Chains A and B, each alone.
Chain A
Amino acid sequence: MSNNHNQYTIALAGNPNTGKSTLFNLLTGLRQHTGNWTGKTVAHAEGFFDYKGQSYQITDLPGTYSLYSNSADEEVARDFIIFAKPDVTLVVLDATALERNLNLALQVLEMTSQVIVCVNLMDEAKKKGIQIDIHKLSQKLGVPVVPISARNEEGIDQLLDTIDQMVRGDIQTNPLQISYNRAIEEKIEKLVPFVKQVIGDHYPARWIALRLLDGDMSLLQSLQKEPRQFLKEVPHYACNCSTKSI
């Protein structure tokens, strides 16, 4: 539990009601409510756990369908993934509504390559007769996919092992990149060098170029605020994010 330098950070992202908080409680052993008020986790929860001699700090991001609609909780989630740069972002999906959930997963894959996709509620899916080809999903997304049932504590060991391998650098991901139509791709190509010039290599340039093309003012505001704090320790980011959202 000592706050040594080897503490890795994990972010938990996912749609509302996919069981992020159940997983969070399971990993950290913290006792909390897992009900659902609107915007419940906007002041996001943090916890700690140890696995195989490594200590981890895990942040439970607000449940969102997207990271682009500019509501307060979506901004919190987006800013955390972009600015706090967690060592691993766990995207929790609802196995019974993959189509809806993959929207967010694809958005996260555009932002960072350190992603593990966690298909939760596998027990529910089984009950409904839904079969999921985990291997194929993993191939298509280009990142590890782990089936779990947080409620029944199934698949957690495999998830922890995958996290362990990722922070050790034993997993090479190749996240699926959405290709847009030619007009957009050309503009991205033009913008990326400028983006890199202005903000360096700290942030995913392609993703930022896309946000600029989309006219995302809220990201610009966050970018203007953030650089001064950039060199500080990650825990400070967590604080900044939550105060900003209030």
Chain B
Amino acid sequence: MTQAKLERLSDAKPGERFRIIKIAIEGTMKRRLLDLGFVPGNEVLVLQKSPLGDPTAYRVSHTTIALRNEESSNIYGERMRNEQQS
């Protein structure tokens, strides 16, 4: 889990799982994301993108939350590609 390998949540594709490592956002929005369950160490499932590609729906702690690219591109972690699916 080296720092160089960190990827953006916004790059994860629907169906993929993503483990959050770092949230590079400050202030109220960071607080809000933490409250919604986007916490380092937590796992997120990418559900689907909206027709125009933004926002994207995520499943986090048993609830669906949609984030804009503005936020999801500043959430870093590792993509866990289809470990369970295929």
Which A residues are within 8 Å of any B CB, using their own CB? 65-66, 68-70, 96-97, 99-100, 103
Contact = CB atoms under 8 A, between A and B. Distances in A.
Categorize the interface residue count of chain B.
under 10
Interface string B51-71: 000000000011100000000
A99 B62 contact: yes
Nearest to A97: B62
Q: Which 10 A-B pairs have the closest CB atoms?
A: A66-B35, A100-B61, A65-B35, A97-B62, A69-B32, A99-B61, A69-B31, A68-B31, A100-B37, A70-B28
A68 B62 contact: no
A97 B61 contact: yes
A210 to B, nearest CB: 13
B80 interface: no
B36 interface: yes
Interface in B1-41: 28, 31-32, 35-37
Contacts of B35: 65-66, 68-69, 103
B31 A100 contact: no
6 contacts: A65-B35, A68-B35, A69-B32, A97-B62, A99-B37, A100-B37
A178 to B, nearest CB: 14
B74 to A, nearest CB: 17
Contacts of A70: 28
A190 B54 CA distance: 46
A167 B84 CA distance: 51
A200 to B, nearest CB: 28
B14 to A, nearest CB: 22
A65 B36 contact: yes
A75 to B, nearest CB: 12
Nearest to A66: B35
A134 to B, nearest CB: 20
B20 to A, nearest CB: 14
Contacts of A100: 37, 61-63
A206 B31 CA distance: 20
A103 B31 CA distance: 12
A73 to B, nearest CB: 13
B43 to A, nearest CB: 11
Most A CB atoms within 10 A — which of B35, B37, B62?
B35
Contacts of A103: 35
Nearest to B32: A69
Given A66-B31, A69-B28, A96 B36 contact: no
Contacts of A68: 31, 35
Contacts of B28: 69-70
A170 B15 CA distance: 52
A68 B30 CA distance: 11
Contacts of B37: 99-100
A97 B63 CA distance: 8
B24 to A, nearest CB: 18
Nearest to B30: A69
